[in-house]
Chains A and B, each alone.
Chain A
Amino acid sequence: MPLLSARALSKSFGGLRALDSVDLELAEGEILGVIGPNGAGKTTLFSLIAGSLAPTSGEVFLDGARVSGLPAHRVVRSGIVRTHQIVRPFPNLTVLENATVAAIHGARRAPGHARERAAEVLAFAGLADRAGHYPGVLTLAGRKRLELARALATAPRVLLLDEVVAGVNPSEAMALAALIRRIRDERRVSVIMIEHVMPAVMSLSDRVTVLDHGKKIAEGTPSDVVRDPGVVEAYLGRGHAEANP
């Protein structure tokens, strides 16, 4: 049985159909990439799975238990956590406090207090030396790590990463990618990642799902998906798809 499964997820905002009957499955220990042109509905998908938004129709199951319809904080406590495309650290809390707050309601409580678990997560994410600083003094890469660490502090089973690699320089991007792999390998967290940075998503993902205009248009291994004509058309237009079969 898949760890996470979403069935026929749809979301409409008034007349706009942001997501149209999308199915998704995540196996335990898998890294699933989600790609697609801008406006395809990827972040909306995350919002539905994480409980920030309620689906217009469709359901989400974690380990067989229904999580769709639960408020966001409940979903986190069940074991699914998301990061934000534009990072949202708590500016009035230090880096350590940011992680601590998240550790208070962790899903898989490791023994020890919230502050200890937070410190451990910060060390894992390479932010131990920044623990006492406020997010305002961190670089963008630092804040992305914080966003990641904070999510990790909730001891999730599923981590939804929304464009974590985008916007940082190549060496930082590689470091973040390595971190994501370690998250899956060492902490047994399954990952779904939205990304535009193709090298990252293609090298990290076991499977890739492609969305366009709210619909799933392809799914498979990275190499399969890259060659799928529908995907090429979605990104580059019909001319390209026909010219390069």
Chain B
Amino acid sequence: MTLRWPALVPPRAAGAFAAAVAALAALPALLDLSAYTHNLVTLTFLMVAGALAWNWMGGFVGQVSFGHAAMFGVGGFVAARLLLAGAVPAPIAWLLGGAAAGVFALGAHPTLRLRGPYFSIATIGLGEATRLLFTYWEDFTGGSSGLSLPIDPDLKFRLYWWGLALVALVAAASFLIRRSALGLQLLAIKADVDAAADVGVSATFHQDLVFALSGAVVGVTGGLWASYFSFIEPNDMFGFDRSIGFVLMAVIGGVGTVLGPALGAVIFVLLRQYLLASYPQLYLGLYGTLLVLIILFEPLGLTGLLLRLWRRAARRPEPAPAAAGGGR
């Protein structure tokens, strides 16, 4: 009996994916989107990319990071500085920002040995320390005055497609990671890090790798964010609220699932727009309540809800319980 990996990229899924990307790319022209909607979707793309990347660490490996804003900020400021210096074209600046963020993430290497809550709390510390450090480093970040970039409406318009490209890449990567040998090893580490080592899986190496990749992507997102707003400021970019955002998006959408965080990001952006308009006073509490409800009733968030509804509709029985919460 020979068994191969199920084709890493099932042709039908690949086709559907390509079609979706093409549709999104054509959307602005097809629907004649207003500037407001066009920009909102751009922003959503950025958040989706960030949430998916966060999920590699928080969902696949199971190490919840409350400090991802650190990489977001590093990527954003490095890219902004490069753009201000006129040294490189925007896409290169974003990539270099991402690379810097990835290297910065590797600096957290000593904390990656920590398990569960210890890691998470360490990331709170790292995130806050980074914020203070960069706010203090006024020469680089402009301190509380921040950095202003020249406004480029053409670039901002085209950010829609740059954002879409980023999302497509990150979504594809999420899918591939999950279905590959790497993904299997990450799940093993998530379940039992010592038993994983006992069958040859190096936790440190894999966690370093995933944390660096996750950080790099979030860094690129930061760079695009900087270009979008033409103004960034360390307390916001490195802020705890921003780190919280990544966590919320992934959890709302379904932490540990492959594409759930994308859904969560969409909801998050929409909720934010609506709440900031109508109930600016409530959004923290709402998110907190949402978090509590999700953890208690549907750990897989929206993805879990949708799966349940789909099963009920198709009248299929629930599969055998797989234990360990969070989408395997």
A and B assemble together = yes
- Give the chain B neighbours of A105 by CB distance below 8 A: 199-201
A101 near B323: Cβ-Cβ < 8 Å: no
**Which of A12-20, A83-91, A190-198, A217-225 interfaces with chain B?**
A83-91
**Known contacts A73-B197, A154-B199; is-contact A115 B3 (Cβ 8 Å):** yes
List residues of chain B with CB within 8 A of the CB of A153.
199
Given contacts A52-B194, A115-B5, are A102 and B200 in contact (CB under 8 A)?
A: yes
Question: Which residues of chain A are near B190, meaning CB under 8 Å?
Answer: 92
Q: How many residues of B contact A (CB 8 A)?
A: 29
On whether the beta carbons of B320 and A136 are closer than 8 Å, the reply is yes
A120 to B4, CA, bound (A): 12
Pair B3/A92 contact, Cβ less than 8 Å: no
Interface check B139, CB cutoff 8 A: no
User: Which A residue's beta carbon lies closest to that of B321?
Assistant: A136
Q: Is A113 an interface residue (CB 8 A)?
A: yes
Given contacts A93-B191, A119-B1, A134 and B322 within 8 Å (CB-CB): yes
Closest-CB distance, A24 to chain B (whole angstroms) = 19
Q: Are B323 and A100 in contact, with the CB atoms below 8 A?
A: no
- A81 at interface by CB-CB < 8 Å: yes
B327 nearest CB neighbor, chain A only? A92
Within the complex, what minimum Cβ distance (angstroms) separates A9 from chain B?
19
For chain B residues 1-31, which have a beta carbon within 8 Å of chain A?
A: 1-5
With contact pairs A92-B187, A92-B328, A116-B4 given, residues A73 and B200 touching in the complex (Cβ less than 8 Å): yes
- Known contacts: A91-B191, A92-B191, A92-B322. The answer to whether A113 contacts B200 by CB under 8 A is no
Interface membership of A97, Cβ < 8 A: yes
Q: Report which B residues bind A (CB closer than 8 A).
A: 1-5, 181, 184-185, 187-188, 190-192, 194-203, 320-324, 328
Query: Is A123 on the interface with B (CB-CB < 8 A)?
Result: yes
Q: How large is the interface on A (under 10, 10 to 19, 20 to 34, 35 or more residues)?
A: 35 or more
Chain A 98-140 near chain B by CB (<8 Å), digits 1 or 0: 0011101110000011111001100100001000011011000
| Ranked 6 nearest A-B pairs via Cβ | A105-B200, A76-B200, A102-B199, A72-B197, A91-B323, A88-B195
In contact, A72 and B198 (Cβ under 8 angstroms): yes
Residues of A within 8 A of B (CB): 50, 52, 71-74, 76-77, 81-82, 84, 88-93, 97, 100-102, 104-106, 112-116, 119-120, 123, 128, 133-134, 136-137, 150-151, 153-154
| Cβ contacts under 8 Å, A104 to chain B | 181, 184-185, 200-201
Q: How far is the CA of A116 from the CA of B4 in the complex (A)?
A: 6
Q: Is A93's CB under 8 angstroms from B187's CB?
A: yes
Which residues of A are found within 8 Å of B199, using beta-carbon distances?
76, 81, 101-102, 105, 150-151, 153-154
A–B Cβ pairs within 8 angstroms, 6 of them: A52-B198, A90-B192, A113-B4, A115-B5, A116-B2, A120-B1
Give Cα distance in the complex from A71 to B205, angstroms. Answer: 12
Chain A residues whose CB sits within 8 angstroms of the CB of B201 once the complex forms: 73, 101, 104-105
Chain B residue numbers with a CB within 8 Å of A82 are: 198
Complex: A146 Cα to B185 Cα, angstroms: 17
- With A92-B187, A136-B321 already in contact, the answer to whether A123 and B1 are too (CB < 8 A) is yes
Contact A81 B198 (CB under 8 A): yes
Closest to B204 in A: A71
Q: With A and B bound together, what is the CA distance between A123 and B201 in angstroms?
A: 23
Q: Which chain A residues border B202 with CB–CB below 8 Å? A: 71, 73-74
Chain B proximity of A238: nearest CB distance (Å): 38
| Alpha-carbon distance between A76 and B185 when the two chains are bound, in angstroms | 15
Pairwise interchain contact B320-A134, C-beta atoms closer than 8 A:
yes
- Docked Cα-Cα span, A127 to B233, in Å, equals 58
Contact B200 A137 (CB under 8 A): no
Chain B nearest CB: distance from A90 CB in Å?
4
**Bound complex: CA A134 to CA B322 (Å):** 7
**Once bound together, how far apart are the Cα atoms of A100 and B5, in whole Å?**
10
Most buried by B among A73, A82, A120, A154: A73
Min CB–CB distance A168 → chain B (angstroms): 20
CB-based nearest A residue for B326: A92
Looking at the assembled complex, report how far the CB atom of A174 sits from the nearest CB atom of chain B, in whole angstroms: 27
How far, in whole Å, are A73 and B198 apart by their CA atoms in the complex?
Answer: 6
Interface centre among A72, A97, A106, A136 (most CB of B within 10 A): A72
A102 to B198, CA, bound (A): 9
Separation in Å of the B137 CB from the closest CB of chain A?
37
How many Å lie between the Cα of A102 and that of B185 in the bound state? 9
Bound CA span A84–B5, Å: 28
Distance in angstroms from B58 CB to nearest chain A CB is 15
Residues B5 and A50 in contact, CB atoms below 8 Å apart: no
Interface contact B1-A71, CB-CB below 8 Å: no
Do residues B181 and A92 form an inter-chain contact, with CB atoms below 8 A? no
The residue from B188, B197, B200, B321 contacting A90, defined by CB atoms under 8 A apart: B188
Residues of B close to A134: CB separation below 8 A? 320-323
Q: Told that A72-B198, A119-B3 touch, could you supply 17 new A-B pairs with CB distance under 8 A?
A: A71-B197, A73-B197, A76-B199, A81-B198, A84-B198, A88-B194, A90-B191, A91-B324, A101-B184, A101-B185, A102-B200, A104-B181, A104-B200, A115-B4, A123-B1, A136-B323, A150-B199
